[in-house]
Amino acid sequence: MRFQGSSTYVATDDLMLAVNAAVTLERPLLVKGEPGTGKTKLAEEVASALGMPLLEWHVKSTTKAQQGLYEYDAVSRLRDSQLGDQRVKDISNYIVKGTLWQAFSYDKPVVLLIDEVDKADIEFPNDLLRELDRMEFFVYETRELVKAKHRPIVFITSNNEKELPDAFLRRCFFHYIRFPDKETMEKIVEVHYPGIKQTLLREALRTFFEVREVPGLKKKPSTSELLDWLKLLLAEDIPPDALRSQDNKKIIPPLHGALLKNEQDVHLFEKLVFMTRQSRN
Amino acid sequence: MLAGFFLKLKEAKIPVSIKEYLTLMEGMKQGVISPSIEDFYYLSRMTLVKDEANYDKFDKAFGAFFHGVETLVGAQIDLPLEWLLKQAELHLSPEEKAAIEGMGGWEKLMETLKQRLEEQKERHQGGNKMIGTAGTSPFGAFGYNPEGVRIGQKKSRNRSAVKVWDQREYRNLDDKIELGTRNLKIALRRLRRFAREGAPDELDLDGTINRTAKNAGYLDIAMRPERRNTVKVLMFLDIGGSMDDHIKLCEELFSASKTEFKHLEYFYFHNCLYDYVWKDNKRRREERTRTWDILHKYSHDYKIIFVGDASMSPYEILEPGGSVEYHNDEAGKVWMQRMLDVYHKAIWLNPEPEEVWSYRQSTQIIKEVMGNRMFPTTIGGIERAMRALNK
Ligand SMILES: Nc1ncnc2c1ncn2[C@@H]1O[C@H](COP(=O)(O)OP(=O)(O)OP(=O)(O)O)[C@@H](O)[C@H]1O
Ligand SMILES: [Mg+2]
């Protein structure tokens, strides 16, 4: 069973190779790339392409590795004990399974997504080394060894906010999703808006890549912004001509607010356009 | 792969480990790629390189190595992969050999490979695509056409006329980091240690007991507030001189760890601090921030980091009107002092080598104004600086 992209996801050859190697060799695949390059989506797509359930663990700055295994809800237990609840006698009533445990206890292989691993404390990845290597961990409270019935296929995404520890990196495969070139982007747009008019697509992409080239942008528009923008263009039925307009007054692309989300960027962009217009006059 | 390649990567300062090398061997053994150099390129990259900043180094090393191979073996090689494995065999250390034995041994490995290659040949010869193009193939010396041996791919790759690694697409990813090289990494760690004060949030046991007792024995839980990420920093960066690259480096260093700080704000100045600073260097004339406003806006528990070479004419520090930017009514020193009166935790990072400081009068003056808290931008310097800020 090989992953080859899907009708809703465009995978480049190198990405397919990476995914398939990671699946075959049972190593976690660490995926990095600019925001909106489909890192999170990849795990979903692989899961559905391979017909496996997807378990997601979205990491936040306060997330601890232990939470992915299990948490012992001592506070509830203490409370129950005060209320004379009988459940209190069995500690396992207060062990709450984390995402990793859930993934380990499935009867068939699952895809496990650890999303935005770099958000957490720098120790976080190190605390998961053994679990990801051996796919097992120990529950101290119940003296139980939890072992994965099937090794999950693990995807880990990072936005590069923090460096990841070397020991962790050595255990992963690594793939950097390059920002899509024009050709790939056309395909991506087509899976989202099948049958989109070629003229509109071409003009929109030209504008999009031009905007990305504007120097000094705080946040370059990404795939998600392009898709949002196209949705608006389609909804408003903007003709492709409007994007190509040589008319100096109309040189600002319509609805560009969807491409540039940062107010400063919008200003910068408008100023630049204004200056170009001046120099053309 | 072959030890030579592995060493080449090490030479190129890519941090590769034996563990990863063995993973690559395992990948080859399990046949996760078709025997094309391009696929080998991708598999080895994903196995051995864990940071896109090193992609370009990898591309260069890969190109150099396979170029060497080309000249070495001439145009006869049809099965580069097999050849690669043979090479590897020659150069393996005893431990590595043992590891390969553990995977079923060389014979088996080679056999599977051969078999796979045969299969592909058969499949492809119908299409009349295999080999034959020796010498004319874009992969030149290897004398085989990668389009021909690639399996399991329906569509042709029009990209493959140019070797991926020769395109050097990741060059600019590296440029950004190259500045810092190794130092930056370690410096970052130091910075993070600095940023992480105190323990994560937890149950306040004493508090809980206390409050539960007061609550007639009914549990009343007290939680301790999250105490990390409490460090607040204002950075002032000297911009517009020969030191720009170094200053930029410091800026990158801090912004790389910005998630570790609760607050981190940047401002720019030129040579010395005066009545104005600015946030966007391109628009320094239009959009300035009054230094007074900073003093009022940011509470006194902010820590201050100046970054600059502190070389200028002493006049620029000591006299009103000394600024090279505009007419300042009050001397730079007055402004520096004002800042230091509000913020007690302040340091100056100086990218110039410490040995030359004493030859520059202005550097000496600034250092004195800073109460000696001037540090070089070396790892040791940064460490000392952070310690001074934490005192
Ligand atoms: N290769 C692709 N094929 C189809 N759709 C894509 C592709 N890449 C990105 N998209 C679309 O772009 C959007 C953003 O994707 P996703 O959320 O996975 O990005 P991300 O890399 O995880 O971003 P972030 O870093 O912000 O988390 C999704 O709606 C997805 O449909
Ligand atoms: Mg995401």
Determine contact, residues B236/B223, Cβ cutoff 8 Å: no
pLDDT per position as a tens digit, B77-108: 333 455 445 444 444 556 655 655 655 655 55
The whole-model pTM stands at 0.60
Pairwise CB contact (< 8 Å): A170 & B17: yes
CA distance B1 to B33: 14
Q: From CA B27, how far away is CA B43, in angstroms rounded?
A: 8
Pick the CATH number of A13-177 from 3.60.150.10, 3.40.50.300, 1.10.10.60, 3.30.70.260: 3.40.50.300
Taking an 8 Å cut-off on Cβ atoms, the answer to whether A21 and B46 are in contact is: yes
B49 touches chain A (CB under 8 A): yes
Q: What is the pLDDT of residue B373?
A: 94
- A1–B contact, CB cutoff 8 A: no
Ligand in nearest proximity to the CA of A180:
1
Residues with C-beta atoms within 5 A of ion ligand 2: A 40
For residue A35 and ligand 1, the question of a CB distance below 6 A is answered with yes
- B386 in Cβ contact with B194 (< 8 Å): yes
CA gap A229, A223 in Å, rounded:
10
| Residue B129 pLDDT exceeds 50 | no
* A6 ligand 1 Cβ < 6 A: no
Task: Locate A238 and state its tokens.
Answer: 């903007």
Residue type, B326: Y
Q: Which residue of A25, A174, A175 is in closest CB contact with B26? A: A25
* Exposed/middle/buried for residue B215 (C-beta within 10 Å: 0-12, 13-18, 19+): exposed
The answer, yes or no, to whether any atom of ligand 1 lies below 6 A from the CB of A109, is: no
For residue A189, the cross-strand partners are none
Identify the pLDDT of residue B136: 27
Residue B224 neighbours by CB under 8 Å, 6+ apart: B201, B202, B203, B204, B207
Average pLDDT of the segment spanning B31-37: 76
B26 touching chain A per CB within 8 A? yes
First to last CA, chain B: 50
What is the number of residues in chain B?
391
A2 touches chain B (CB under 8 A): yes
The phi-psi region of residue A251 (left if phi > 0; otherwise alpha if psi is between -120 and 50; otherwise beta) is alpha
Alpha-carbon span B168 to B165, nearest angstrom: 6
Answer whether residue B121 shows pLDDT above 50: no
- Minimum CA distance residue for ligand 1 atom 23: A36
Best mutation target, B30, B46, B177, B218, to test chain A (most A CBs within 10 A): B46
Q: Which residues of B touch A272 (CB under 8 A)?
A: none
CB-based contact B259 A21, cutoff 8 Å: no
Amino acid code (one letter) for A52? M
Whole-number Å distance, alpha carbon A29 to ligand 1 midpoint, is 17
Backbone φ and ψ of B153, nearest 5°? -130, 120
Is the CB of A191 inside a 6 Å radius of any atom of ligand 1?
yes
In this structure, are residues B233 and B254 in contact, taking their beta carbons and an 8 Å threshold? yes
State the helix-helix crossing angle for B37-48 and A13-25, rounded to 10 degrees.
60
Contact A24 B43 (CB under 8 A): no
Q: Is the distance from the beta carbon of residue A181 to the nearest atom of ligand 1 less than 6 Å?
A: no
The percentage of residues in chain B with a pLDDT greater than 70, rounded to a whole number, is 55
A244 Cα–ligand 2 center, Å: 32
Of A186-200, A228-242, B35-49, which gets the smallest average pLDDT? A228-242
For residue A136, how far is its CA from the centre of ligand 1 (angstroms)?
A: 31
Greater confidence, B286 or A232? A232
Look at residue A184 and tell me whether its pLDDT is greater than 50: yes
Cα separation, B110 vs B17, whole angstroms: 24
Q: Is B32 in contact with A21 (Cβ distance < 8 A)?
A: yes
Average pLDDT of chain A to the nearest whole number? 87
Nearest residue (CA) to ligand 1, atom 7: A38
Beta-strand (E) ranges in A150-262?
153-158, 173-177
Residue with tokens 């990390």, as numbered in its chain: B228
B22 to chain A, closest Cα gap in Å: 11
Task: Please identify, by atom number, the ligand 1 atom nearest to the C-alpha of residue A184.
Answer: 1
What would the pLDDT profile of B248-265 be if each residue is shown by its tens digit? 777 777 776 666 677 888
> CB contacts < 8 Å between A and B, how many?
71
- The CA A226 to ligand 1 mean position distance, Å, reads 11
Q: Do B259 and A13 touch (CB under 8 A)?
A: no
Query: CA A181, CA A133: separation in Å to the nearest integer?
Result: 35
Of these ranges, A37-41, A234-238, B54-58, B328-332, the one predicted with the greatest mean pLDDT is A37-41
Q: What separation in Å is there between the alpha carbon of A142 and the centre of ligand 1? A: 41
Q: Is the distance from CB of B277 to CB of B339 less than 8 angstroms?
A: no
Substitution target from A122, A213, A265 for chain B, most B beta carbons within 10 A: A122
The DSSP secondary-structure symbol of A127 reads: G
> Each residue of B22-42: b (16+ CB within 10 Å) or e?
bbbbbbbbeebbbbbbbbbbb
- The pLDDT of B136-156, averaged and rounded, is 26
Report in angstroms the alpha-carbon separations of B221 from A1, A79, B214, B268: 52, 10, 12, 47
CB-side neighbour CA atoms (13 Å) of B88 = 23
DSSP B113-136: HHHHHHHHHHHHHTTT-SS--TTT
Work out the mean pLDDT of chain B and round it to a whole number: 69
Measure the N-to-C terminal CA separation of chain A; round to a whole number of Å: 60
pLDDT digits (tens, 9 = 90+) for B265-324: 888 888 899 999 988 766 667 788 999 999 999 999 898 999 888 888 888 899 888 887
Residues B116 and B279: their CA atoms lie apart, in Å, by 61
Instruction: Give tens-digit pLDDT for A257-273.
Output: 777 877 777 777 777 66
Residue B55, chain A, CB below 8 Å: the answer is yes
Token couple for B329: 């009514």
Nearest ligand, CA A37: 1
CA dist A125 and B45 (Å) reads: 22
Q: Is the minimum CB–CB distance between B17 and chain A shorter than 8 Å?
A: yes
The per-residue DSSP string of A17-74 comes to: HHHHHHHHHT--EEEEESTTSSHHHHHHHHHHHTT--EEEEE--TT--HHHHHEEE-H
CB count in 10 Å sphere of residue B108 = 13
Distance in angstroms (rounded) separating the CA atoms of residues B100 and B2: 13
CA pair distance B157, A116, nearest whole angstrom:
32
pLDDT per position as a tens digit, A20-73: 999 999 999 999 998 889 999 999 999 999 999 999 999 998 899 999 999 988
- Read off the pLDDT band of A163 (50, 70, 90): confident
Asked if B377 reaches chain A (Cβ–Cβ under 8 Å), the answer is no
User: Can you give the pLDDT at residue B126?
Assistant: 34
Apex B50 CA angle, B46 and B51, nearest 5: 120
A37 lines ligand 1 (CB under 6 A): yes
* Contact between chains at B169 and A178 (C-beta distance less than 8 A): yes
| A229 and A208 Cβ atoms separated by less than 8 Å | yes
* pLDDT score recorded for residue B110: 52
| Residue of A4, A15, A32, A41 with the most ligand 1 atoms within 8 Å of its CB, for mutation | A41
Contact across the interface for A61 and B200, Cβ inside 8 Å: no
